[in-house]
């Protein structure tokens, strides 16, 4: 079996417990084959001391490269976070396009490509992750790498005209064409990517999702990412989970719980969600005093202005609903701007009658799958899911909603709260089958075996 090289901006921290399913899955793939996990060290250092940190854990070498303050600003904050992230999530209005930031992004990809190439051996297979490294494959090729390179995009690939809004999209497209296999979360993303390559760069469609473009034949395919459902189910029944559920249960006095858990990000549709909950109470007098929304959303990337605006908007919206409806012993919306352990979250998911996962756009949204896996099979809650989350493509028995339609979302929450147990169980079983069919192990194995197949063809 060939050695695996994984490149992702953030890596698991060597020696520490892996925080999430993805880090575990990649760590396992590396442990199985041996290899190198390459990424940013998380350190910001002066140019003179900028280096690469090497650690060994079992048969995995970690190679973690530092950034200077200027690189962190240009590559990471200004280009990856303020240009690519909004565009990939259809928020061209929030994107800031700056040539200098793009040059910094390209330069970091170049430097990282050079560093990584030195660690690679001819028979390795390479798996690059996410929008931070769109140019990394091209840089590896420039250094002389001839073997197969796979790439997986964790965020959506937008409609062609949205991607084409990026002033440097030609350069990015040429970079993406240096990969042999491009993995996306959904068939919709694959369709958007191929259409973009055909419309903007005259790609020729071949069979099995292959296209010929920029004098190369590349393949685009959907590999829906998943979770480890047994692990989540175990966590939901752990002591820590039960204790958390008891604590919250006491506080809401066993009223029906509606839960949302997200990173605080404008892609997650949080304002619309709070508005929908407000509308639910406006329109249903009988629910006042009988239902609670708990929204957990720790701030991320606070340094970016758009996130501060979002925080203010959420405070205002929660304030409006709580101001209108709170009573001596009831506050309808509890907004918790901090993070909790995975066990605590699993316990709260299990307690909640309704899981609200309503992003405006999302690659997959693993919270949707975690909510399902944490339920009590005898008495499961109901998932209300945005049709624009990647997860919706295969989770049709959730209550699917348009997150821009506040009234429709309020109706769906009401329907979820009133749903008889038999229907809940039936819907949940179908969702759980899907969560199991596309778990995290299937995701990594199917990506790697497809990539190895292509590597074999290259010879
Ligand atoms: P994220 O945008 O972070 O990930 P998501 O997939 O929902 O979104 O969550 C990833 C992990 O973070 C999950 O395990 C979840 O439990 C955890 N998480 C989310 N909010 C949390 C909170 N408030 N506290 C603690 N943990 C929290 C990106 C893409 C997604 C894609 C994933 C994986 O944006 O679309 O599904 O990568 O490819």
pLDDT in tens, 306-359: 778 888 999 999 999 999 999 999 999 999 988 899 999 999 999 999 999 999
Record the pTM. Answer: 0.96
Residue 411 catalytic? no
| β partners of residue 55 | 62
Work out the average pLDDT over 236-260. 95
Fold of 229-437: Rossmann fold (3.40.50)
How far is the C-alpha of 279 from the C-alpha of 277, rounded, in Å?
Answer: 5
Q: Which atom of ligand 1 is nearest to the CA of 268?
A: 2
Distances (CA, A) of 439 to 59, 226, 269, 305: 25, 4, 25, 36
Residue pair 141/216 in contact by the 8 Å Cβ criterion: no
* pLDDT score of 459: 60
Residue 246, classed as helix, strand or coil, is helix
- The per-residue pLDDT for range 191-202, each reduced to its tens digit, is 999 999 999 999
Residue pair 170/105 in contact by the 8 Å Cβ criterion: no
Residue pair 101/82 in contact by the 8 Å Cβ criterion: yes
- The per-residue pLDDT for range 392-449, each reduced to its tens digit, is 999 999 999 999 999 999 999 999 999 999 999 999 999 999 999 999 999 999 999 9
Residues with Cβ within 8 Å of 51's Cβ and at least 6 positions away in sequence, in order, are 45, 65, 66
Work out the average pLDDT over 359-363. 97
Given 78, 124, 189, 362, which residue is catalytic? Answer: 362
**Same fold yes or no, 4-226+440-458 and 229-437:** yes
pLDDT of 16 strictly over 80: no
Nearest to 175 by CA among 128, 223, 221: 128
Domain ranges of the chain: 4-226+440-458, 229-437
pLDDT of 303 strictly over 60: no
How far is the C-alpha of 106 from the C-alpha of 110, rounded, in Å?
Answer: 6
- Which residue has the CA at smallest separation from atom 7 of ligand 1? 365
Q: Output the CA 305–ligand 1 centroid distance in Å.
A: 21
Work out the average pLDDT over 133-157. 97
* pLDDT score of 217: 97
Buried b / exposed e over 122-151, threshold 16 CB at 10 Å, is eebbbbbbbbbbbbbbbbbbeeebebbbbb
Q: Which atom of ligand 1 is nearest to the CA of 339?
A: 24
How far is the C-alpha of 415 from the C-alpha of 397, rounded, in Å?
Answer: 13
What is the enclosing helix (H) or strand (E) of 413?
helix 406-418
CA 227 and chain centroid, separation: 12
Residue 327 catalytic? no
Residues with Cβ within 8 Å of 161's Cβ and at least 6 positions away in sequence, in order, are none
pLDDT of 302 strictly over 60: no
- The per-residue pLDDT for range 57-85, each reduced to its tens digit, is 999 999 999 999 999 999 999 999 999 99
pLDDT of 115 strictly over 80: yes
Q: Output the CA 263–ligand 1 centroid distance in Å.
A: 7
Locus of tokens 């329109």:
283
Could you confirm whether domain 4-226+440-458 is CATH 3.60.21.10?
no
Whether 370 lines ligand 1, by a CB cut-off of 6 Å, is yes
More confidently predicted of 182 and 455:
182
Whether 364 lines ligand 1, by a CB cut-off of 6 Å, is yes
* pLDDT score of 363: 97
Whether 81 lines ligand 1, by a CB cut-off of 6 Å, is no
Whether 24 lines ligand 1, by a CB cut-off of 6 Å, is no
pLDDT of 35 strictly over 90: yes
Whether 225 lines ligand 1, by a CB cut-off of 6 Å, is yes
Given 72, 89, 129, 154, which residue is catalytic? Answer: 154
Question: Which percentage of the chain shows pLDDT scores above 70?
Answer: 98
How far is the C-alpha of 193 from the C-alpha of 447, rounded, in Å?
Answer: 18
* pLDDT score of 301: 58
Interhelix angle 440-458/21-33, nearest 10 degrees: 40
Question: Which percentage of the chain shows pLDDT scores above 90?
Answer: 88
Work out the average pLDDT over 187-215. 96
């Amino acid at each position: 079996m060939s050695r695996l090289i994984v490149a992702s901006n953030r890596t698991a921290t060597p020696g520490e417990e892996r925080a999430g399913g993805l880090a575990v899955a990649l760590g396992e793939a590396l442990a199985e084959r041996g290899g190198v996990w390459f990424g940013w060290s998380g350190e910001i250092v002066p140019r003179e001391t900028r280096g690469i940190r090497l650690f060994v854990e079992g048969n995995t070498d970690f190679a973690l490269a530092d950034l200077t303050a200027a690189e962190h600003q240009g590559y990471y904050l200004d280009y990856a976070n303020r240009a690519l992230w909004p565009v990939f999530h259809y928020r061209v209005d929030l994107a800031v396009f700056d040539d200098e930031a793009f040059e910094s992004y390209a330069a970091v990809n170049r430097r990282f490509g050079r560093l990584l190439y030195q660690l690679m051996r001819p028979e390795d297979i390479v798996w690059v992750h996410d929008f931070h490294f769109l140019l990394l494959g091209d840089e590896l090729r420039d250094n002389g790498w001839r073997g197969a390179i796979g790439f997986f995009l964790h965020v959506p690939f937008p409609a062609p005209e949205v991607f084409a809004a990026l002033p440097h999209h030609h350069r990015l497209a040429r970079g993406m064409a240096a990969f042999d296999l491009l993995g996306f979360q959904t068939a919709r993303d694959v369709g958007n990517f191929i259409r973009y390559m055909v419309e903007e760069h005259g790609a020729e469609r071949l069979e099995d999702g292959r296209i010929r473009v920029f004098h190369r034949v590349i393949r685009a395919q959907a590999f829906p990412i998943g979770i480890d459902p047994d692990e989540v189910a175990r966590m939901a029944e752990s002591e820590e989970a039960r204790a958390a559920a008891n604590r919250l249960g006491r506080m809401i006095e066993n009223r029906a719980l509606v839960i949302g858990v997200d990173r605080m990000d404008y892609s997650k549709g949080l304002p619309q969600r709070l508005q929908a909950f407000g509308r639910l109470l406006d329109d249903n007098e009988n629910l006042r005093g009988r239902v609670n929304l708990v929204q957990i959303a720790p701030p991320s990337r606070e340094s970016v202005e758009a996130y501060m605006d979002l925080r203010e908007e959420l405070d205002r919206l929660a304030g409006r609903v709580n101001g209108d409806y709170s009573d001596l012993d009831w506050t309808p919306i509890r907004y918790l701007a901090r993070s909790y352990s995975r066990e605590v979250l699993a316990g709260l998911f299990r307690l909640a009658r309704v899981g609200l996962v309503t992003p405006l756009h999302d690659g997959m949204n693993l919270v949707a799958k975690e909510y399902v896996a944490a339920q009590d099979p005898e008495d499961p809650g109901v998932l209300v899911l945005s049709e624009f989350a990647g997860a919706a493509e295969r989770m049709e028995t959730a209550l699917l909603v348009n997150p821009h339609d506040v009234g429709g979302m309020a109706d769906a929450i009401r329907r979820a709260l009133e749903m008889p147990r038999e229907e809940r169980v039936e819907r949940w079983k179908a969702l759980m089958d899907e969560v199991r069919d596309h778990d995290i192990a299937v995701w990594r194995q199917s990506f790697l075996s497809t990539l190895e197949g292509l590597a074999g063809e290259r010879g």
